[in-house]
Every structure is written in structure tokens, then in C-alpha cells.
Amino acid sequence: MSPRPDGFTLWELMMALVLAGIVLGIGVPSFMEFQRSNAMTTAANDLLSAVLAARSEAVKRQAPVMLCASPNPTAPAPDCGAGGGFIVFIDDDGDGMAGPTDGNGTHDDGEPLLLQRPPSGGAIRVWSDGRYVAFDANGLPYQPAAQPEPPASSYLYCDDRGNRAAAGGLSAARVVVIEPTGRAQVRQEIAQIEAAADTIAGAVCPSS
């Protein structure tokens, strides 16, 4: 008897391609969902870490520290204003004397930068009920006298999935909540996301 030749028959190759197609059809959407959830978690946790760091630095340095949205967060001298990125800085020039630019809620020359973060990017959008969070020497949020609006208490992160159930029955969106005591946390409950979307002006994170 002649030995069987090495290799695959056409039928075996077709079956392998069919099985590969089934595996990819199941695995690729799950992997994409995992990537989007991971990006959302990273973006929200990045802000949470910045808020916690700002509060900690305010207490450690006994000086006002501010986190604010910025249109040019990675610039050498970034500004506070409308934008998807943010900066954290010591709102005190450190000369040991009270001055008009200390604690005014604006990043002025001579005030050290602690963090500079660009926008999250991708499909993630961010809304908040304020453009800044300022902490005093006691680690409590406060409103600088020069700021016409109060500090933010909620930052909503949402992508094209909206406020729908994802893994574990929690929302695909995130909201970073800053309490009056200065304590901050990331919430993912669908009801919490819906409440934030209803409270924050202009926020769009529809429930599916």
C-alpha cells in the first residue's frame, strides 16, 4: 500500500476555515467590547487618581491645589478652560507670601504643575457640572473667590454604547463623583449614570 501523502485535503481545509470563521465571529466582538470597557475604565480611573492626588497634595503642602479642564493640557504653560484634557497645579506661587494670584483658581506663572493629561481620545466623551475641582489645605473642595461657578461634583464618561448594561449588569459608562468632603469614587450603576446625565447640562449618554 502506498503511504498517505502529507498535507490537507480540500475538505479538511474548508472545515478548518469554517471553524476559524466561527471562532473569530464569537471572539472578535468580545475582544472589542473588552478593549472599549478597558479604555473607559482607564479614562475614569485616570481622573479619579488625579482628584485624589490633588486632595493629598493640598493637605501635604498646606496650599490650595486645583484640577481644571484645559484646552492645551500638555503645553509648557497650559490654561484652564473648556477642553477634554486636564491639569493639576498648586494654586500658590510658593514665595511664602499671600498674593493676588494665590488661590484664584487660575494657573499663573510660577505655580507648579503636578499633572498634565491629554483628552481620553477615541469615542469617549466627557461632561461635568463644573470645569474645576479645588482643594484647600484641609483637603476640602472650595470655590475660589475669582471663580464665578462652583467646583464640579460629577464627571460623566460615555461612549457610543451609551448607558447600557455591560459586564456584571453595570453600565458601560462611568461617572466620577466628588463628595462635599472631598472623597471621590467611580460609579458604574445604571441609575447613577442616568442621574448624572440628567443633572449635567448638555450631557448625552442615552440608555438603550
Tens-place pLDDT, residues 23-42: 556 654 565 776 788 888 99
Contacts of 40 (CB under 8 A, 6+ apart): 124, 157, 159, 172, 173, 174
Cell of 129: 457640572
Q: Which residue positions in the chain have pLDDT lower than 70? A: 1-8, 12-13, 18, 20-31, 34, 93-101, 167, 208
Cα–chain-centroid distance for residue 85? 9
pLDDT at 208 (0 to 100): 63
Domain ranges of the chain: 59-122+130-149, 153-208
pLDDT at 14 (0 to 100): 73
pTM: 0.80
Neighbours of 131 (CB within 10 A): 19
Residue 58 phi/psi, 5-degree rounding, is -65, -40
According to DSSP, the β-strands at 65-70 and 132-135 are: antiparallel
